[in-house]
Amino acid sequence: MLKLGAVDSNQDRRIK
């Protein structure tokens, strides 16, 4: 899953 970066840090916790 590719993310922008800033969003990755925030959403990555919820997705995983």
CA distance 1 to 12: 10
| pLDDT at res. 15 | 57
Residue that has been written with the tokens 């590719």 in this structure:
2
Q: Which two tokens stand for residue 13?
A: 């916790």
Q: What is the arithmetic mean of pLDDT over 5-11?
A: 65
| pLDDT at res. 7 | 65
Sign of torsion over alpha carbons 8, 9, 10, 14:
positive
Sign of torsion over alpha carbons 6, 8, 14, 16:
negative
Sign of torsion over alpha carbons 7, 8, 10, 12:
positive
* Global pTM value: 0.06
Q: What percent of the chain has pLDDT over 70?
A: 0
